[in-house]
Structure 1
């Protein structure tokens, strides 16, 4: 994708953003400890990626390492600028209390995880997928599933075990 971005391929840039934005935002946030500032920095990171994709050279490193390095360095630069500025006292103590709501990176990660789980569940047979959903997402007991499906309890346990192994394999890919 980086090679395509160097050729100014906007679709490749969109795919790269979708695939990496949550991770790079987390990198920025871990350095800056300030969500709005991390979001601004992330924008700068993607501008930098767009402008310097042609100069990317793997040198044995993965593309993700290059992207993380850009995000980390840009965040450290911003942190240094912030530390050189005089700090104003907070206007209101309520402004310093962090929000308990999940941030954009957490929401993006959850959406990706839900989509991955849905894709993996779709690869299971319907009865097994329904059993996994009922037990692990809805809290049903094994006995309830066995009764509902008209199957022996040990059969349901086997379905669930094999299904979980398939899900683990699917998610690992």
Structure 2
């Protein structure tokens, strides 16, 4: 078993680019770091790939390690744990099991509902065409575009009560047309 001071020394030497120290550090810590990766990823092949990435990071970041009184294994395990969690997140975000996908319902209307809506839309458009053009535009503005009665009265340069009367009478005419 390698002591804490020996691991710190190996990390310091790896930070200076010592390949022999890197090999010794791998031999001393790879089993523990592999266990961390395997526990998180729950897939042996992926854990092996993650371990390889961990040691690449160790090689790249060993010069940033500062002996601060904590175990150097804490630093190494943190690197392994964070990398494994990142891989786990990418796995969850990037793939979906095909068996789960086929059960997803289409949120759009069914073909029958779409055909019915199209037919109703044509009927409503036909009834709107029977109104005077300014009345039909006012109805569209109020009920489709969300304009207020005041805005419509200003647009058509009529008093507010006149606009209310236009809209009320137009809706009565539309109702009669749609029930024929």
Larger-Rg structure: 2
Q: Higher relative contact order by CA 8 Å / sep ≥ 6: 1 or 2? A: 1
Instruction: Report what 2:44 is aligned to.
Output: 35
Q: Aligned pair 1:71/2:88, yes or no?
A: no
Secondary structure at 2:59 match in 1: helix
Count of residues in correspondence between the two structures? 90
Instruction: Report what 1:19 is aligned to.
Output: 28
Q: What are the ranges of 5 or more consecutive residues in structure 2 without an aligned counterpart?
A: 1-9, 100-180
Q: Aligned pair 1:5/2:9, yes or no?
A: no
Query: How does the TM-score come out when normalised to structure 2?
Result: 0.48
Which consecutive segments of 4 or more residues in structure 1 shift more than 4 A? none
Q: What are the ranges of 5 or more consecutive residues in structure 1 without an aligned counterpart?
A: 91-173
Shift of 1:89: 4.5
Secondary structure at 1:59 match in 2: coil
Q: Aligned pair 1:51/2:69, yes or no?
A: no
Shift of 1:88: 3.7
Instruction: Report what 2:146 is aligned to.
Output: none
Query: How does the TM-score come out when normalised to structure 1?
Result: 0.50
Report Cα offsets for 1:88-135 as digits up to 9, x if no partner. 449xxxxxxxxxxxxxxxxxxxxxxxxxxxxxxxxxxxxxxxxxxxxx
1:60 aligned to which of 69, 74, 78:
69
